[in-house]
Each structure stands twice: as C-alpha cells, then as structure tokens.
Structure 1
Amino acid sequence: MPSKNDNLRKRKFMHNRKNGNFDVKMKNSDYEYELLITDSHEKKPIKKIHNKHGPKTSQNAGLFFSFMCLVVTVTILIIFFGIYTDSLHPIIDTIATQLGYSEKQYGAIFDAGSTGSRVLAFEFHKAYLDGRLVLDNELFKELKPGLSSLTPEKGAIQIKQLLDEAKQFIPEQYWPNTPIALKATAGLRMLGASKSEAILQAVRDIFTESGFMTNDHSVEIMDGTDEGIFSWFTVNYLSNRLTSRNTAAALDLGGGSTQVTYELNEIQPSYKDFIHPVPVFNSEVNVFTNSYLGLGLMALRHAVISYQKADNQTSFENECVNPIVKNKSWIYQNNEYSVSGKENKKASPDNPEVDFETCVESVKRQVMPLLKPKPIRIQEHIINAFSYYYDRAIETGMVDPFLGGEVTVADFTKKARESCATANTDQPFMCLDLVYISVLLQDGFGLNPQTNIRLFKKIRGHEVSWALGCFFQNYITLQQKMKRASN
C-alpha cells in the first residue's frame, strides 16, 4: 500500500507534468538510455527511468537508424548508376582523386606504317568503381619515311628517337610496369620476309634495353584483321559507344591497305571467317572486319599508274593525272617514278583537264577484283572514317583541319570532279586519290550518295588510331597473365 510520501510525490509529479514544469533529458551510455525528469522549480532530479531496449525505443536512436539507412541506400544507388551510367564516372573519379585514391597506368604503341613511323603514348587512371581505364593524356609523334623505306640501322635510329619521346612523357618510376609494342602494317607486309625481319630485329634490340615492359610479341607485323578491330575499338571507346546498342563503323584508309570494321550479329555462312568476337569490358561484340591488301591509297595509286606496264618501267603517263603535269617525281616503296598526265582529247587546249569518266573506269578496274567480300549492312551504323580519308578531305577544304566534320559520299564525288577539272601541279595526284575514295565508298562498300561520313583526326582531343585499341589488347593480355600467375 503506498505511503503518504509516495502519494505526495505522485501528485506533485502529475501537477508539474500538467503545467509543463519539468524537463526531459536523454542520456546515452553504451546503449543504455536514461530518462531524467527534472523539477523545473526545485532544479533537482525527481526520478530516473532506465531503458535497456536500444535505439528502437528512443527518438534520437530512431533518427540515427533512419540516417544510416539513407546513407546505405544512396551509396548503393551511386555505385549502381556509377557502373552503368558513364556520365557519373568522371564525377566519382574526381572525388576519388581529390581524396587521394587515384591509380595511374601508362602504355606506348609504335605504329610502323607504310609512309611513316609514329609513337602514341597514353596516360590513364583507373576508374574508382569498376577499375576500367580512363584516358587522360596522350603523346603523338611522327617521323617519315616508313620503316620499309629504311635500312635496319636507320630504322632502329628512327624508332630510338620516338622511344626517347615516350620516355619524356612517361615518368621513369612507371617504366617497369608500362607495356610497349611496335606493330608494323602493310608497308612491311609487302616488303618481304627477310628484309622485314632484319628491320624488326633491330627494333627488338632497342626495346630490350628501353627499361619498359616487353615480351616475345612486342615487335611484329600486325595482322590486317587486328588492325581493323583495333581501329573499331578506338573509335567506339573515344565516342563512348562500346556499351551502346549502336556502335560506329570504322573505315581506315592507309597507304598499303584499307580496313572496314563494324558490328554484325547476323552471321551469313559466306562471312563466318570475317566475323570476330571482340572483348568489350565485361561482354563481347561480334564484328565484321577485313583488311584489303593492295587497296591502300598509295598501293592503289601505283596500281593505276603502272597498269599493264613493264615491271622495270619507271616513267609513266596516266589518264587520271592532268595533262599539264610533266615528269612529276614520286617515290613508292623505295622506288622513284616519273609521272606525267595523259592527253585528254575531249578537253580544250586552253583548259586541260582529266577525263573523269575514263579515270573512274581505270580505278574500278583495279578496285573491284580486290574487294572480296564486300561489306554488307554497313549503312545501319554511324560511319567514322580516318587516315587518308581525313587527310584528303582537309587538303581540299571539305572539313575544318582542326575540328573535322561530316560530309556525304556525294561530297567526295563532287570534289573529285572539281579536282579532275582543275590543272594543279602542286597536287598532281589529288584527282586520282579522290576518284579512288569515291569509288571505294560507293561502288566498293555499297554506300549510297547521301550516306554521312564522319571525318575526325581526334575525338575528345585524342588521336583516332588503331594504336589505342592495340594497347588495350596488350593490357588485357598482361592482366590475364598476372592473374594466372597469382593463382
């Protein structure tokens, strides 16, 4: 039975509660919560109520729990969208870099082309969320002529110069973990096994002493299929299309060969040898690719000019060269030729020009037999063209030399007609070159005149070259070897 004192305290407590004369405070100590009721008049504790049931029975603990749920939810959403939304990667990587979580990776690829040698050195950082490589900076340097025009000794000197450029770009502490490679294209393919191997061995000796990471395949002649796949990878990587449903087609026009590569999932039996699965981050994409040896710009030019001529002949007249051109010197594969324009009886003496239709037929005669198989369904894709496509377009004012641009197949044909009708000794082969590009795109690849062609030397400030795709293959192979070794 309650005592008089207990009843008095109870009445006093109820009175103070009714009139708001006490304060309630919470104290947390090792998950034990106290409810401290203080008399507002006497300023002394009346009673302590202990609660040992944890946060669920306290307001502040509930708020804390809700806050933690919010943090976890936001973190999950950021990770999810960071992985699958490319636009969030730069934001997250910037934050990670500011907090000191940034890992660098370098690489260098040497492009031994038919007309020159180039080095492309790359600086990447690894994306914080999924570890993919993000290109930050690059070096591009070029020296002429190509290795196929040099002796092994002079070729080694040329590559050493480019190697020194790469060493200036890549910090020395990264050299032992930086893979480098030299891949030769059509120029050395057509030189012959013994001559090309002597040049490649001289380069291998330079690479061995470089301090960079190399292997048995670091210096070699590249297969034409790889050249096309690497170009396609580069274009779509720089355009952020590798994870897109509509990847871009890549057209690369070199000096000795031309490559066509684009996504093609419907495999016809006659095309099965030209369909290749390409690793793209965590998936694969089937692409059609083929390298047409002999359909590079310089190789085709030589074939047209020397058609039905003796093998040892070095002086030519040709219907695709303006009659005003006389004995123009041209060097191809270490051989010097003298080229003159052929008289066009349809043109007036006062206005010498090339017989356009005759030139077109001469070019078709050389192109069509070599174009097997012809690309199919390429028009379903955005088309990016580079190398000599781009060079001839900027030299004739079709696109801005710094920004590039977009033209149609018909624009190339129109510019070819204009060039063939203009007497220009400074660009004696421009008529032939543009006619070839027009024939290749329309008759060879089956593109209609209204098809848009995107012409860029750079995308997002980076060179459009197969070298970037080549680096990624080397890097992926290296990572796989290291993973197997660790297991």
Structure 2
Amino acid sequence: MSAQRADMKEKNSWHKSWVVALAAIGVIAVVALVVVTVVQNMPLSQKYKYGIVLDAGSSHTTVFIYEWPAEKDNNTGRAQQKHACNVKGPGISSYAGTPWKAGQSLRECMREAQENIPEKRHAQTPLYLGATAGMRLLEMKNSSASAEVFRAVSETLQTFPFSYQGARILSGQEEGAFGWVTVNYLDDRLKQGLKTTGALDLGGASTQISFVSKAFDGSESPVNSVTFRLYGNDYNLYTHSFLCYGKDQALRMALAHHTQSGPRSVQDPCFHPGYVATKDYSELYDSPCVSDRKPRGAPESFQHVGIGNFQQCQDVVRSLFNFSQCKYSQCSFNGVYQPPLQGLFGAFSAYYYTMSFFNLTDTSIPLDTVKERIARFCATPWQQVRQQNPGPKLKYLVEYCFAGTYLITLLTDGYNFTSETYSNINFIHKIKGSDAGWTLGYMLNLTNMIPAEAPDAPPLPYAGYVAIVTVIVLLLLVVLLLVVRAVGPRCSKRPHVV
C-alpha cells in the first residue's frame, strides 16, 4: 500500500512539474506576442529632406526653406514651406556698384536657415538662388556687373554648410510656369487630377500669365508652350512673361511718357493732388526699359506734381500697351499671342499686396465698384492720405494710386478679363501655409532630381511578422490543449465523497 502511494506521489510530482512547465511556456508565448505586436506597430519617426531657394527679385530677396518626406509621393516630393526670411535691403540687382554688399545682405537670413534645418541635414540640403527680372535687366544693361553680383552672392552662400548648387537667372517662362505649378500643387489640383487654376504674377520688373486652355495646343505659338508631367498627368501650359511690365518698371515707363519733351514740371494723374517731389532725369531713365527714350537736352531734374485723376491715369497706363498689331488669331498686347482665358486664376505677389491695401481682395465685389474705390483714393489729397494711412512706408503709399490703376488696366485691357470673368480671379498670398510664387514650383521640380531615401521600415517585414504571430498563437493553442488534457483526467479521477 505504501509503495502504491509513493508511486502515485511521484507521478503527481512529475505531472505537476509538467503543468508548471507548460504554463511557463504559455506565459512566455503571451509576453512574446505582446512585445512583437507593440514593437512592430510603434509609430515610425518621419524622415525629412530640406531645400533652400532664394528668390532674388527686383525689389527684394526672400529665403524660402522647404521640407518634404524622404519617401516619394507619386513620384513627386511632397514639399511644403517650413520658413521664410525677407532679406533686409533692396534686391541684389541694386548692388551693381557695390556687389560685395549683395552677398553680405544675405547672411542674416542664411543664419536663420541654419537654425531651422537640423544640423545633421545641413550637408545634404541643396541651396539654390534664382534671380528674376531685376537681374535680367541688369544683365541686359551691364553683363559684367551682373557677373560680379553673382560672384559675390555665390562666395557668401558657399560659406554656409549647405550643398550650394549655384545662382542663375530664371527665364520669364520658367518664372511663370513654376508659379502655375505652385498654385495648383498647393490646392491639390495636380494630385487629384482636377481642373487647374491659372496663375497671375506681378513683380517689380515683370509680370507673368500662365494657364491651361483647351484652345491652346502650342502649335500657334510654340514659344509660349510648356509641357509638364506631374502625378501621372500631362499638362500643356500657356505662359508668357512681360519684361518691363512689373509694377515698378511700368511706373518708370509712365513717367517716361510724361517727360518725352524734357519738361521741368510734370502734372501726373496717377499721383494724389498736393503731392510734389523733385525727380532726377538720369535716375528715371537708368533702366533698359526706358533708357532709349531719354529726351535730349533735358534738364537734370523735373518737378513731379500729382493731380489725382483715375480716368486720365488709365489713359496713361493704356499708352504703355501696344494693341495695334497682332499676327495671331488673338493677342493680349504688344503682339503677344494669348488663347481665350479659361477657368479660375490665382493672382499673387504685387497683385495681392496692392488689392489688400485697398481691401479689395474679395472678387465678388463688382469690377465697377473696384474702379470707383481706386478712383476715390486717387482723388484724395496727399496730406489726407498720409494721415489716414500711417502704417505703410511713404515710398509704397505714394505709388498705390498708380499701382491700383495699373493692375486693373493690365487685367482688363491687357489680359482681356471682363466684368463677368473678373470674379474668376482669387487674390492670394498664402495657400496652406506656403507663399504663392515660383519658388515652391521650382523646388518641386528639383525634388524630382533628388534620389528618394529609403523610409524607416518596421523591424520585421510584414510576411515575417504574420508568420511569427501565427507560430506564437499556434504554440499557445497547443499549450492550452496539453494543459487541459493534463488537468482534465486528474479532475475526473477524484474520489467521490458519500
């Protein structure tokens, strides 16, 4: 009897050890399953790449920093604006006489760029400088001075720890086309294959119009045709840039119109009544846009007197456009082909800043009402204008009458917008946190040339993860069955108590 009890005690001990071992294996399997699942599904840190584009315009320079995920999005990097810094002082073309100052002017904003990009990414970050119409004009006027300015800015930019890719002058066609890409990219029209928005850009020295038109296939005017392939879709874009028709150079041309006879005093309808200033002839005509018109025998200066008349100002502005000749089916002005306007348009840069000053960015306001408001402003005495508008710098404030008149005349007489189609224009500054302009489109084009970086991947490939989880689950099932089998008979053999 005692031998039987000893044998049973030994079996119970072995049985108990076996159950404990199975339970331990089960616990380990559960822990392993939890750990693998948690680690595999932990959120991944997003890798970003960065790019810097300097927009060297005619009146100022802005440094834009863009970032985008290291992986590609439909073969186009998803770039967005991270930071923008306005360089103090005028545009780099203004430093033709002292080119070293052009380079020095960029340092403060470039130091900001260093702070806004992770240090480990500095060496991989491409840095580009794109110059627009101001440098185009300087190149026409004095190519050696243009080269010296570029040399100075390049020397400065190379002192920073980025991958400097050079400085160059963008063509007007590039400026217009990349502005169109920016507007449509920010609205997600390219990715979703929606109808595109046209782009209207007004700078200090040039203006651009770009849009897609069903009536334009590029055959009538190939020079105005640009083809893009973005997000798997092909776009045939009409674009044209008018050099000298930016706001500042157009004002020079308007003043040149008044001073063809070399007078000592000019009455100007585009400036407020009571405005009087002395202007220098040599300074006025110191631009390729008007240099060939300088009157012979003109005095050193003339008195610029404002009379503030919107209708007369419009007549002056219209004189800047040539509507008399067109060898195509239809033109905008100066004999330049333009297909019929189509769809919505985004108007930015000086378009936005000017209309924002007048509180006229809402294009549901009828065109006639817009003209009436600008006309009232132009007729307001200069002293009253200064008192009512203490914010803007006097340099800009005094030119708003001309700018508003010029802008409306350019859109209607120049580009053929009507009272009905004017409401298709949206005056925009930023879209989803990024400035409207050519630089983002330029950056998007460049990201296609930058090799995609492998994204952070989970620790296990998906198939391996599924296989491991399956094995652990099966192991748990086997352990559970063995425990049930081991415990079950013991429970059934317990003696019944009567």
TM-score (norm 1): 0.69
**Any idea what SS the aligned residue of 1:225 has?**
helix
Q: Equivalent residue for 1:385?
A: 347
CA contact (8 A) 2:57 2:133 kept: yes
**Any idea what SS the aligned residue of 1:200 has?**
helix
Give the residue type in structure 2 aligned to 1:256: A
Give the residue type in structure 2 aligned to 1:177: Q
Deviation of 1:418 after TM superposition, in Å, equals: 2.0
Q: Equivalent residue for 1:434?
A: 404
CA deviation profile, 1:239-264 (whole Å, cap 9, x unmatched): 11114331000000000000001113
Question: Does residue 160 of structure 1 match 2:124?
Answer: no
Number of aligned residue pairs: give it.
368
Deviation of 1:210 after TM superposition, in Å, equals: 2.1
**Residue 340 (structure 1) aligned to one of 304, 310, 313:** 304
Q: Equivalent residue for 2:116?
A: 169
Counting only pairs closer than 5 Å after superposition, residues 98-247 of structure 1 correspond to structure 2 as: 99-100=43-44, 102-126=46-70, 130=74, 132-135=76-79, 137-143=81-87, 144-150=89-95, 151-191=98-138, 192=141, 193-215=143-165, 218-243=166-191, 244-247=193-196
CA contact (8 A) 2:64 2:81 kept: no
CA RMSD of aligned residues (A): 3.0
- The 1-side partners of 2:351 and 2:41 are apart by 39
CA deviation profile, 1:226-250 (whole Å, cap 9, x unmatched): 1001111111111111143310000
Q: Equivalent residue for 2:377?
A: 419
CA contact (8 A) 1:113 1:186 kept: yes
**Any idea what SS the aligned residue of 1:306 has?**
helix
Q: Equivalent residue for 2:437?
A: 465
Deviation of 1:371 after TM superposition, in Å, equals: 4.0
Q: Equivalent residue for 2:33?
A: none
CA contact (8 A) 2:251 2:402 kept: yes
CA deviation profile, 1:290-342 (whole Å, cap 9, x unmatched): 11001100010111012253699897542322231011779879899876335
- The 1-side partners of 2:82 and 2:286 are apart by 32
Q: Equivalent residue for 1:320?
A: 270
Using a 3 Å threshold, how does the CA distance of structure 1 residues 129 and 182 change in structure 2: closer, same or farther? closer
CA contact (8 A) 1:325 1:341 kept: yes
Question: Does residue 259 of structure 1 match 2:208?
Answer: yes
CA deviation profile, 1:200-226 (whole Å, cap 9, x unmatched): 1111112333221233xx201111111
CA contact (8 A) 2:76 2:447 kept: no
- The 2-side partners of 1:173 and 1:405 are apart by 46
- The 2-side partners of 1:159 and 1:97 are apart by 45
CA deviation profile, 1:79-125 (whole Å, cap 9, x unmatched): xxxxxxxxxxxxxxxxx996216221101100111110110001222
CA contact (8 A) 1:257 1:294 kept: yes
CA contact (8 A) 1:125 1:136 kept: no
Using a 3 Å threshold, how does the CA distance of structure 1 residues 332 and 177 change in structure 2: closer, same or farther? farther
**Any idea what SS the aligned residue of 2:190 has?**
coil
Q: Equivalent residue for 2:27?
A: none
Using a 3 Å threshold, how does the CA distance of structure 1 residues 172 and 327 change in structure 2: closer, same or farther? same
Deviation of 1:459 after TM superposition, in Å, equals: 0.7
**Residue 361 (structure 1) aligned to one of 294, 307, 315:** 315
Give the residue type in structure 1 aligned to 2:212: E
Give the residue type in structure 2 aligned to 1:356: F
Which runs of 5 or more residues in structure 1 are unaligned? 1-95, 344-353, 481-487
Which one scores higher on RCO, CA 8 angstroms, separation ≥ 6?
2
**Any idea what SS the aligned residue of 1:255 has?**
coil
Deviation of 1:442 after TM superposition, in Å, equals: 0.6
CA deviation profile, 1:429-449 (whole Å, cap 9, x unmatched): 222111111111111111111
Using a 3 Å threshold, how does the CA distance of structure 1 residues 441 and 190 change in structure 2: closer, same or farther? same
- The 1-side partners of 2:317 and 2:209 are apart by 19
Q: Equivalent residue for 1:454?
A: 426
- The 1-side partners of 2:84 and 2:303 are apart by 33
CA contact (8 A) 1:148 1:333 kept: no
CA deviation profile, 1:165-185 (whole Å, cap 9, x unmatched): 111111111122211100111
User: Larger helix proportion, structure 1 or 2?
Assistant: 2
CA deviation profile, 1:4-45 (whole Å, cap 9, x unmatched): xxxxxxxxxxxxxxxxxxxxxxxxxxxxxxxxxxxxxxxxxx
**Residue 277 (structure 1) aligned to one of 227, 248, 252:** 227
- The 2-side partners of 1:247 and 1:314 are apart by 50
CA contact (8 A) 2:75 2:231 kept: no
Deviation of 1:127 after TM superposition, in Å, equals: 5.7
- The 2-side partners of 1:309 and 1:437 are apart by 22
Using a 3 Å threshold, how does the CA distance of structure 1 residues 107 and 132 change in structure 2: closer, same or farther? same
Q: Equivalent residue for 1:19?
A: none
**Any idea what SS the aligned residue of 2:51 has?**
strand
CA contact (8 A) 2:197 2:345 kept: yes
**Any idea what SS the aligned residue of 2:220 has?**
helix
CA deviation profile, 1:427-481 (whole Å, cap 9, x unmatched): 332221111111111111111113222112111121112111111222223449x
- The 2-side partners of 1:127 and 1:406 are apart by 41
Deviates more, 1:196-205 or 1:159-168: 159-168
CA contact (8 A) 2:348 2:429 kept: yes
Give the residue type in structure 1 aligned to 2:379: A
Using a 3 Å threshold, how does the CA distance of structure 1 residues 184 and 97 change in structure 2: closer, same or farther? farther
CA contact (8 A) 1:189 1:221 kept: yes
CA contact (8 A) 1:416 1:438 kept: no
- The 2-side partners of 1:446 and 1:390 are apart by 19
Deviation of 1:414 after TM superposition, in Å, equals: 2.9
Deviation of 1:282 after TM superposition, in Å, equals: 2.8
User: Larger strand proportion, structure 1 or 2?
Assistant: 1
**Any idea what SS the aligned residue of 2:164 has?**
coil
**Any idea what SS the aligned residue of 1:327 has?**
strand
**Any idea what SS the aligned residue of 1:198 has?**
helix
TM-score (norm 2): 0.67
- The 2-side partners of 1:154 and 1:196 are apart by 13
